[in-house]
Amino acid sequence: MDLVSLERIEAAAKLVGPVVRRTPVVSSRVLSERTGSEVRLKCENLQRTGSFKPRGAYNRIGNLPEADRTRGVVAASAGNHAQGVAWAASSLGIDSTVFMPIGASLPKLAATKAYGATVHQVGHTIDEALTAAMEFAAQTGATLIHPFDHPDIVAGQATVALEILDQFPDVGTVVVPTGGGGLLAGIAVALHHLAPRVRVIGVQAADAAAWPGSLAVGKPVPLDRMATMADGIAVGLPGVVPFAHVTAHSPTIVTVDEDALSRALLLCLERAKLLVEPAGAAAVAALMTCLPADLDLRGPVCAVLSGGNIDPILLTRVVGHGLSAAGRYLALRVTISDRPGSLGTLLSEVGRTGASVLDVVHSRTGAWLEVDEVEVALTLETRGPTHREDVLTALRDADYAVRVQD
């Protein structure tokens, strides 16, 4: 396979540059302090449609011959790619059809339609939607726009690296959220041509990490199962085209767990004032939690925030998960005697610890309870891991039977 050349990346930049946003690169003091390196964030969550995807989609569609344009384009996606294709096609005056799973989030579904695509909901997985899209392409002659497995997609995503080098010339390490590999491959190949000194690190969700096993055997290998909140990088099989570029330029791949993803989203929201989806926060999660030896950061660091499209319902859940993971949200169950004043005494004890009570549920049912006992479910706001442990210690020292809820 011929790898994407610098000339092809420069042509992509010329094509997409006038229509996509030149997203900002902003400093992060908290991450700089944690890593001991200067850290800046490349805010692709502020890109058109809320992710980096329009870069590759516009480059791919914009390079189609006129005869192919008249037959339209088709794609399969649960969110960011769908919006990128819909926007790019509409911008170029081309009809687009997008197949989305039945469970796709309502905001992403509505946004894809608003960008001009005809949307069909088919199946319950991306694979089922992709099968339907391929059948549609075969029947109508529409061009299938793959989310990552095409050289034009890789070249389009590579324009992120061109901007980083222009905005942050001293960058020594770039950390990239990684799913199918289009963004990772694009950034790796662009830096190989223009700044080979720069270290590239791809970040995957630990429970949806197809790259480590695939790299180990030298070819894309599908995962048996995936389970992660980071749906934007939940891809069970790396693309053939990205795989060829990644293996040629050897970036490091690391993984992060769900706690790290939710904490990273919360940090972006609180400290950087940036709304980022779980997949988009993967690079931040790696900088927060991975061992220095695994990252081997070289020089100033740029973490790519790849997207900011998150369902408000999921955002509420993830923020709660992040607060709990950061030791600032404590859910517990306490057994007390069923006597007047017992609940008040418990809450007074909690008050003395300085924790804030968010929710109280008082229950007399439960096979584990004695006749004269009740269970109180408490949700508390704490000031961090140390305070969280202080609260638990205080309650146990007061002879309360406490069970922490995960």
DSSP string of 269-306, one letter each residue = HHHS-----TGGGHHHHHHHHS-HHHH---SSEEEEE-
Instruction: Report how far residue 149's alpha carbon sits from residue 141's, in angstroms, rounded to the nearest whole number.
Output: 19
- Position 406 scores a pLDDT of 66
- Say whether 306 is catalytic: yes
Q: Count Cβ neighbours within 10 Å for each residue of 337-362 and write b for 16 or more, e otherwise.
A: eeeeeebeebeebbeebebeeeeeee
For residue 50, what pLDDT is reported?
96
Say what the pTM is. Answer: 0.85
pLDDT attached to residue 366: 67
Look at residues 168, 246, 170, 180 and name the one whose alpha carbon lies nearest to residue 210.
180
As a whole number of angstroms, the distance between CA 136 and CA 113 comes to 18
Tokens of 391: 């609260």
Instruction: Find where tokens 């949806």 sit.
Output: 208
pLDDT for 148: 95
E strands, 160-207, where?
173-177, 199-205
- At residue 282, the pLDDT reads 98
Q: What pLDDT is attached to residue 103? A: 81
- Identity at 135, one-letter amino acid code: E
pLDDT for 133 equals 95
> What's the gap between Cα 224 and its chain centre?
21
DSSP H or E run through 74: strand 73-76
Q: Are 327 and 388 in contact (CB under 8 A)?
A: yes
Of 37, 51, 53, 105, which residue is the catalytic one? Answer: 53
> Which one-letter DSSP state was computed for residue 92?
T
- 28, 37, 306, 324: which one is catalytic? 306
Per-residue pLDDT of the chain (406 residues; tens, 9 = 90+): 789 999 999 999 999 999 999 999 999 999 999 999 999 999 999 999 999 999 999 999 999 999 999 999 999 998 899 999 999 999 999 999 999 989 888 888 999 999 999 999 998 877 788 899 999 999 999 999 999 999 999 999 999 999 999 999 999 999 999 999 999 999 999 999 999 999 999 999 999 999 999 999 999 999 988 889 898 898 889 999 999 999 998 889 999 999 999 999 999 998 999 999 999 999 999 999 999 989 999 999 999 999 999 888 888 887 777 777 777 888 899 988 888 899 999 999 999 999 999 889 887 776 677 777 888 899 898 988 889 899 999 999 999 989 888 6
pLDDT value of residue 315:
85
Cα–Cα dist 247/83, whole Å: 29
Between the alpha carbon of residue 385 and those of residues 290, 324, 381, 388, 395, the distances in Å are: 19, 9, 11, 5, 16
Residue 367 confidence (pLDDT): 63
User: CA 47, 52, 57 angle in degrees (round to 5)?
Assistant: 110
What pLDDT shows up at residue 231? 87
CA 162 to each of CA 1, 13, 186, 299, 322: distance values in angstroms, whole numbers, following the listed order: 23, 8, 10, 18, 33
Based on the residue annotation, tell me whether 262 is a catalytic residue of this protein: no
